Chain A
Amino acid sequence: MQSKAKISQSCAGLSLLELLVSLALLALIAAGLAGAFGVGTQVYDRARALNEHQEELAARRQLRSALAQALPLYRITHFPNSFVGAPDRLQFVTLKETPYAPDASALKVEVLWASNNLTMQVEAIDDTGAVLASWDHTLARDVRNVSFQYLDNSGDTPDWAPVWTGAPNLPALVQITGERGAPRWVDFVVAPRL
């Protein structure tokens, strides 16, 4: 009898109370893990969006400094020089230095709005106009109603126009406007200074 009781005691399972408590703990832990996983997903999405936005901001800064040093057409250069100001496209040559192409004579920059993306292509050129290296940057994704405007300040009253026809001079201001949700697009204005 004694050995039978021992066997019965050693095979005893969990009590109902222990089972309920363990289930409640399991539920709490599962809820906590699900919450932590959700927060982790949000953190990942937000970090990725912020990273893209930071890249756009860096490209925006690069465009600002390049456009500020855009070459007027009357400047005599060895390499081909051009300035194109269109409603959806801007192209210019800049003397802005870049550490990534130390042998380049200048940078040829094209800003283009296509498929609701505002992109910038930079080409490092030598004295003959040959391309030494090129880079593509995104200024803004999913941006709508983009408009390029060029300010002619040579007359009595300043005049904004969607096409630049004042060659060989450069426009007094170049403005890029657009519409976007989050992160929003803020109007971009630069005065070429050369």
Chain B
Amino acid sequence: MNRRSGYSIIEVLIAFAVMSMTLAVLLPGQTRLLGRAGTAAERALAHDYALSRLDMVGVLGAETPPPSTGTWRVSEDVSEGPAHRAVTVSVRSASGRLLAEVTRTYGITDAE
């Protein structure tokens, strides 16, 4: 009769520690998941920007200044063959991560 049923303080503390560790693992995972979804949207937008730029290059030539990109860094690589010109547009984030890279080949007369 003297024995009181229930959990001891040690058991409660251990359970609390386990719960804290579980939450500590799960919550940053949620944050990473959102970060990846945001990166996917930024990649899609960067890909669309690269297509815009390639359309401009196809009509106006590679010398035309590109549209403003905000914090993105855009690089263009032009390689010419006897009858074609291949233009590669690369879009990188401010931290240097590659967001999109698109190549399109034009006839020489198309791009001039």
Contacts and interface: CB of A to CB of B under 8 A. Distances in A.
Contacts of B38: 46, 50
B37 interface: yes
Contacts of A9: 2
A47 B38 CA distance: 9
B27 A36 contact: yes
B9 A57 contact: no
> Looking at A18, A151, A189, which has the most chain B CB atoms within 10 Å of its CB?
A189
A178 B85 CA distance: 31
A188 B55 CA distance: 10
Interface string B41-60: 10011001101110110111
Nearest to A46: B34
Given A50-B37, A173-B56, A186-B67, A64 B16 contact: no
A186 B69 contact: yes
Contacts of A21: 9
A158 to B, nearest CB: 6
A6 B68 CA distance: 84
Nearest to A43: B30
Contact of B48 (A18, A60, A158, A191): A60
B103 interface: no
A153 interface: yes
A115 interface: no
A45 to B, nearest CB: 10
A168 B13 CA distance: 79
Interface in A133-175: 151, 153, 158, 172-173, 175
A190 B23 CA distance: 48
Interface size class of A (residues with CB under 8 A): 35 or more
A39 interface: yes
B52 A32 contact: no
B1 interface: yes
B59 A151 contact: yes
A47 B16 contact: no
B12 interface: yes
A36 B56 contact: no
B67 A189 contact: yes
A32 B23 contact: yes
Interface string A56-96: 01001100100000000000000000000000000000000
A173 B1 contact: no
A143 B3 CA distance: 70
B70 interface: yes
Contacts of B45: 57, 183, 186
16 contacts: A21-B9, A32-B23, A36-B23, A46-B34, A50-B34, A50-B41, A61-B48, A64-B51, A153-B60, A183-B45, A186-B45, A186-B48, A186-B67, A186-B69, A189-B53, A191-B59
Closest 9 CB pairs of A and B: A187-B67, A189-B52, A191-B55, A172-B59, A57-B44, A186-B49, A46-B34, A50-B37, A53-B41
